[in-house]
Amino acid sequence: MRRLESAGGPEASQLRLGDASPATLLIVGVNGGGKTTTIGKLAHRFRQEGASVMLAAGDTFRAAAFQQLEAWAERTGAAMAPWPDEEKVRPERVMADAVRRARASGDTDVLICDSSGRLHNNWELMEEIEECKKAIAAESEGGPNEVLLVLDGTTGLNMLNQAREFNEYVGLTGLVLTKIDGTARGGAVVSVVDELGIPVKFVGVGEGLDDLQPFDARSFVDALFPEAVQA
């Protein structure tokens, strides 16, 4: 299993996982955007396609971050990369250790690395996520295969500023738009795609495991302008 297809979607919206094992995904975003939930839903999609998945908790700031991700691992049948013994561990080390463990296991198809939420204008934390990407790259073949920015659909036009900064530091390969089931502000993602050329890979339309859907431009526009569609 080397690619999670976006059913019926264009080539740009498909996850590119390469040929090396495991494929590695780095998930980034600001606080409260839905990163951990998105990771759980991604793990579920991979598991539904028969892939073995490992999750890595790179959020070393929140005490409950590991437990929250571990709960998603249990729910989806994914493995969980162990947490280091020492108290103050750098997130880049957590991710590097996870890649080594996933490679050593011999049967992990996909490793999904969580990261702590950070404001896009905090340069110290943005440099930290840059180091996380470098750590994954140093331990994997061609990784990370995907660097996905999770954008809160209720953010509106500020999502362009977020995407600019994250893209500058880690080179984004795709976007995941969450919380669009109750807002029209998600349409601001058009500005992100237009300016930065980064494709939307998935959209979150609810809280269920199956509520992370491959992005389809026509369906997205129809959802934003339902009255126009009916007319």
Q: For residue 108, is pLDDT > 80?
A: yes
Q: Lowest mean pLDDT: which of 32-46, 58-72, 122-136, 163-177?
A: 58-72
Asked whether residue 136 is assigned to any structural domain, the reply reads yes
With tokens 């992990």, the residue in question is 108
User: What is the structure's pLDDT at 86?
Assistant: 65
Instruction: Give percent of the chain above pLDDT 90.
Output: 48
Mean pLDDT of 205-229: 68
d(CA 94, CA 166): 20
Half-sphere exposure in the Cβ direction for 11 (13 Å, CA): 0
- Residue 51: give its domain's CATH number: 3.40.50.300
Over the stretch 26-57, which tens digit does the pLDDT of each residue have?
Answer: 999 988 888 999 999 999 999 999 999 999 99
Question: In terms of residues, how long is the chain?
Answer: 231
- Give the pairing type, strands 200-204 and 212-214: antiparallel
Over the stretch 87-104, which tens digit does the pLDDT of each residue have?
Answer: 678 899 999 999 999 999
- What is the CA angle 214-219-224, rounded to 5? 115
Choice between 204 and 86, residue whose per-residue pLDDT is larger = 204
Q: Name beta bridge partners: 53.
A: 110
Which residue type is seen at 231? A
Label residue 80 by pLDDT band (50, 70, 90).
very high
**Strand residue runs (E) in 114-218:** 146-152, 174-178, 200-204, 212-214
Instruction: Give percent of the chain above pLDDT 70.
Output: 82
d(CA 28, CA 46): 19
Asked whether residue 149 is assigned to any structural domain, the reply reads yes
Asked whether residue 190 is assigned to any structural domain, the reply reads yes
Q: For residue 109, is pLDDT > 70?
A: yes
Asked whether residue 140 is assigned to any structural domain, the reply reads yes
Asked if 183 contacts 209 with a C-beta cutoff of 8 angstroms, the reply is: no
Which phi and psi (to 5°) does residue 155 adopt? Answer: -70, -30
Q: Which domain holds residue 208?
A: 18-230
Q: Name beta bridge partners: 55.
A: 80, 112
Asked whether residue 102 is assigned to any structural domain, the reply reads yes
User: What is the structure's pLDDT at 70?
Assistant: 94
Asked whether residue 71 is assigned to any structural domain, the reply reads yes
Asked if 31 contacts 117 with a C-beta cutoff of 8 angstroms, the reply is: yes
Number of independent structural domains in the chain? 1
Q: What do you get for the CA distance between the two ends of the chain, in Å? A: 43
d(CA 50, CA 130): 31
Asked whether residue 68 is assigned to any structural domain, the reply reads yes
- State the helix-helix crossing angle for 123-139 and 91-105, rounded to 10 degrees: 20
Asked whether residue 13 is assigned to any structural domain, the reply reads no
